[in-house]
Amino acid sequence: MHVVMFADQHLESLGGAQVSMRLQKRFLERAGHVVTIVAPRLHRDAPDDAAYLDLPSIAITPDREYALTWPGARTDRFVDAQMGARLPVDVVHVQADFWGAFIGHRYAARHGLPVVHTMHNRVDVGIEATAPFPGLVLRVLNAWARRALRGTAPSRDVVPDAAGAARSRDAGPVGRGAGAGRGAGAGRGAGAGRGAGAEPASVRAGRVAAVPSGRSAADGWAYLRRLAALSHAVTAPSSHFARRLEEHGVASAVDVIWNGIDDDVLDAALGAGSSVRRPGRPRFIWLGRMSPEKRLLPFVEAVIASGIDAEVEIVGGGAQLRAARRLIERALPKATVTFSGRLPYAETLRRLADADAVVQTSIGFETQGMTVFEAASLGTPAVVSDPDIADELGSGTWRVTDATVPALANALRRAAADIAAGTPVEPDASIAERFRQSSRTAAMVDVYRRAVAAGR
C-alpha cells in the first residue's frame, strides 16, 4: 500500500506530532508499505529522506524551525508534478490542522483518493492559549478553510447539516467492549481501534448522528467538522479526545489509535533499566514545551508550596524557562530543582525510567498526553492534572483534584510520601505492550483498508 501523509510541519522539526509521524513512517515501511510525506520545506539543516516531498515554504518563526506553505493552485501544481514519479497512491493520510490539511484534502479531491484524517490537536484550546483574540482567529481560520477547500466535496459517507457542518452517516460510538467505558482496558481506551466485530463507520449508511445545537459556525469544532466531512475515516490518539469529537459532531464514530512508542527503543530502555529503585530522595520529572498551556509555572509554584524534600528535574525548553528559573531562585524551595534543557529521545526515556514519578500539568489541551504513556510503559507512575488523561491511563496515578496550585502541591506531597514509604502506585503493566508502535501501525493499516474499500 502507498500511503501519502500530509503534515503542517516538516517531520524533522520539533514537535510531538512530528515525532509520531516519523515513527509511523518507519513502522509502515518495516511492514512493507510505501510512505510519502508531504510537508513544508525546513529552513535549517536536517536529515533528508527519500520519502520526504518538501514543499516551497516561508519560515514563520524567528528560529526558522517552523514554516508555512500556502494552499492554492501553485502548490497543487507542485505537488502533482512531484508526485508523478511516485504513483500510484492508495490512501491519503492527513495529519495536519492548517495548511497541510488544506493541501492534503485538495490533493485527495483532485485525484479521487480516500482520506484518513487524524485529529492531533484541540484547535480551540491551542488558539485560546496562544492568540490574543482567539474568537477572531477562529473566525478567520474558518473563513480560510471555506476558501481553501472550495470545490472539494464531502466524502460519500458524510452529509451536510442545515448549518453546513458535516455529519457522518453513522450510528454513534462503537467498539467500547461490553459494559466498558473509555478508560484504559476498555475496548476503545485500550488503544487498539475498534472492538472485534464492530461495524466500521465507513460502511454504516443512512443513520445520521446529530450535531449539537447552539454551536458556533465559526468555532474550533466547526473547523474540525469541515475537515472531517472530507474524510472517509477519522482517528484520534485517545478515547477522551474521540469522545469530544463525537460529542461536538465532528464525526459520529472516531477510531482511537494511540500514538505509540518505538518498539526497539522501548526494549532497549526496559533492558537497561533496573528492577530495584536507586536509593535517595523521591525523584520527580516534568518534561515538555515551556509554554502557557503546559502549565510549567504552576508546577514550579506547586513544588515550592508543597515543601517536598525531593529531586525535581525539568526537561525541555521554551519561552517560560527564564520565568521558571526566577521562581526557583527567589523561593529557594526544599526540593532540589534541576533544569536539564532539551534531551535526545533515548536519554529522555532513560530519565523517565529512573524517575519515581512524572508530573503532567496541562489541562484540557492534550489529545493524548504521550509522556505519561511513555512513562507507564517503563513502569513509572504519574502525578496527573488532566482528569481525562488519568482516566485513559487507568491505574498508576496520583490525581490532582482541581486546577489550582494548592491541589497540585497536595498531590506532590501525597506522591512523595508514598514513594518515600516504598508504596508508590503502579501503572497498568499491559500499557507497555498496547503502546508499542508495531501494534498501533497494525491498527492504522486496518483503518486504511477500510477507507480504501469505502472510497471505491
Dihedral through CA 118, CA 120, CA 122, CA 123, nearest 10? -80
For residue 271, the one-letter residue type is G
**Mean pLDDT in residue range 151-161:** 55
**pLDDT of 402 above 80:** yes
Which range has the worst mean pLDDT, 125-134, 204-213, 403-412?
A: 204-213
> What is 263-430's CATH number?
3.40.50.2000
| Residue 163 pLDDT class (50, 70, 90 cuts) | very low
Query: Could you tell me the pLDDT band of residue 155, with boundaries at 50, 70 and 90?
Result: low
- Residues spanned by CATH 3.40.50.2000 within the chain? 2-261+435-455, 263-430
Q: Where is average pLDDT lowest: 96-105, 140-149, 177-186, 266-275?
A: 177-186
Percent of the chain exceeding pLDDT 90 equals 63
Q: pLDDT: is 171 or 36 the higher one?
A: 36
Q: Is the pLDDT of residue 183 over 70?
A: no
Lowest average pLDDT, out of 27-31, 59-63, 189-193, goes to 189-193
Mean pLDDT for the stretch of residues 84-97:
95
For the domain 2-261+435-455, what is the CATH code? 3.40.50.2000
Condensed to tens digits (0 to 9), the pLDDT of residues 51-77 reads 999 999 999 988 889 999 999 999 999
For residues 195 and 224, give the distance between their C-alpha atoms in angstroms, rounded to a whole number.
25
Tell me the HSE value of 186 on the side-chain side, using a 13 A CA sphere: 20
The pLDDT of residue 455 is 77
Among 68-77, 127-136, 323-332, 393-402, the least confident range: 127-136
The answer, yes or no, to whether residue 312 has pLDDT greater than 90, is yes
Q: Is the pLDDT of residue 219 over 70?
A: yes
pLDDT at 197: 33
Pick left, alpha or beta for residue 46 (phi over 0 → left; psi -120 to 50 → alpha; otherwise beta): beta
pLDDT of residue 279: 86
pLDDT tens column, 341-377: 988 888 888 999 999 999 999 998 777 788 999 999 9
pLDDT band at 198 (very low <50, low <70, confident <90, very high): very low
Average model confidence (pLDDT) for the chain? 85
Q: What band does 136 get if pLDDT is binned at 50, 70 and 90?
A: very high
What confidence tens digit (pLDDT) does each residue in 248-293 have?
Answer: 999 989 999 988 989 998 888 888 766 677 889 999 999 988 988 8
